[in-house]
Structure 1
Amino acid sequence: MLKRIVRGIFSAIGLMIGYIIASSLLKIPDIREIKYLSTVTGSIVFLVIISLLFGIILFIISPSIYKSISNVVEYVEKNIQKLTLTEIICGALGAVIALILMTFIANPINGIHEFFGPILFILLNLVAAIIGADILIKKKDDMIGLLANIKKPVVKEKKSKSNPVKGIAKVLDTSVIIDGRIFDICETGFIEGPLVIPNFVLDELRHISDSSDSLKRNRGRRGLDILNKIQKELSIETQIWEGDFPKINEVDSKLLKLAQTLNGKVITNDYNLNKVAEVQGVPVLNINELSNAIKTVVLPGEEMVVDMIKDGKESTQGVGYLDDGTMIVVEGGKKYIGETITVIVTSVLQTAAGRMIFAKPKEN
């Protein structure tokens, strides 16, 4: 239905264009002196034929015009959807400022030529609007920072008594959000805010929570639940960072770039991300390293009671676990599987995966 309406509109436009062109041609003396056009009937027939000709032409090409317009609208919509609200506002503001400036700068061009002057003036304004929008979108962070600095003294006067001094920004990784221990650590007060949650991390969590794999789906939803708990139940400051780094594809690389931009730290439990961050000089707070650091310290020669759960890699080894998850490998402990025995610590091995304790059964 819409296509038929558009086709009718273009046909009507074609008729009007044909009528205007035919009327203009009839005003030319050389054409008016033509025998068949000198009479009223001839002039009317000429007007009708030219009008119908342009109407038919636009009727035929209207589907192609409609398709081109639809493609342009669809392209614009897709690009606008990728932009945040802040970027759209900054882009509109940049375009308006550029148009105002170009009106004064390019106004003399408007009078250069009766036909080409206005066209050139419109093209220059269009280019200026695009450039102005692009510049302000790229500089949106600077603008937000400038506005924040302008408002800063007022905020300090009202809230300096109740709000503590803000610490270094902590950028949350997807893995540490899904892990969930970050909530308990923040609840204890060992980590100060603000916690920065990048928009691209939220997008990754949403993508995981919509996965067809039930395990991934549950992990993604758990991560979103943890974020909601942090925002609603904790007093720690949280910020959603709406920007992006379009030239960087990987989320981990974006996290490190964001931490460098904010002069902050990345909170993660991803071993590989930890190593890459060390190479790039980005400070990292690793939850697994914190967990290992607060595990109970044991020394060779100490005794402990362990439940033997399964056999180890070697033929005589048995494996048990402490309450905090630390693995204990007991030489000669295979025969005690299913029993609770007293063991003597022989050595302690610290690995990237955690702490491992080696022991032997205590001789009665």
Structure 2
Amino acid sequence: MLALRLTLMVCGLVLGYSGGQILATSTPPETAALNTVSLMLAGALTALLLAPRAERFALGRAAALTRWYSGLAPTTVAAATFGLIVALLLGVLLTGVLRGLPFYSWPISVGLTAVLAAFFMTYAVRNADAFVALSFPQVRRKPGGKILDSNVIIDGRIVALARLGFLDGDLIVPAFILRELQTLADQSDAQKRTRGKRGLGVLEELRALRPLRIEDWDDPHLPTTDDKLIRLARETGAKILTNDSNLARVAKLHGLDILSIHEAAVALRPPLQAGDSLTITITKSGQQQGQGVGYLEDGTMVVVEDGLRLRNKPARVTVVNNVQTNVGRMIFAKLDKDQAASA
């Protein structure tokens, strides 16, 4: 921000010089030059002292402007531009008509054009959907479409929903999601490679069940996959089908429609109560010493007290507590008495 500091100091010098010239009219000539130099130095030093505060303010305004700009959909910009063009053309035509009136003046023309611009730009932005085909021919608006993210594809439960007929409309897979799955499938890490291959396999199953459309769309200026999904959903009017709770929250803040498989599973699953028994496989250790962690078929985490000794083995457990967290449901359990005795 050196340029900002230098600019402020120059402004301080200019203001000090102007003040010195004003005082020179009422002071003796021998002191006018000294006063001018003193005021210029005071102005420059004042600007230097205020520079940090000005930098923080400028950085905050720049960040806010960047967030606002990045949140603008291209369709909104296109619609606003179209409305401005219509307003300017009408302003020119009406100016030609009003020029013959005796009370005409150029401020009237400017004011009329501003009113027309405000009206037509607002109207066009509110009806931005009508400009999608004109501004973005590569994006085709199809009502009822559902955009799939990588998490919901890898999860695999979408296949059962499609098989049962719960998914209507187009199923849309963006090209950048397909590339993400391919990249995972080519990873050297075995876990990531398995996830990527599973996702590609799920897409093959979906294609066999119902039409699947690959949307050849991408925006290299957006940093994350979630940002791209939100932008594509805003441009196409499609819903996002996901089980990522963070993506769902951000998308809802943008006013988008979200279909969360995880939330649907939670809503439809009979809640486990304290005292219920179930059988799970302990797959890893928990945060506390001796805790074991397993997962239900829907991905719900089950934390088992003293369950680590049965790692990679089926274990009969009794539910102690059922907690709903921001990332999903967690079940706390303990080993059945018979299971604990045999272990």
TM-score (norm 2): 0.47
TM-score (norm 1): 0.44
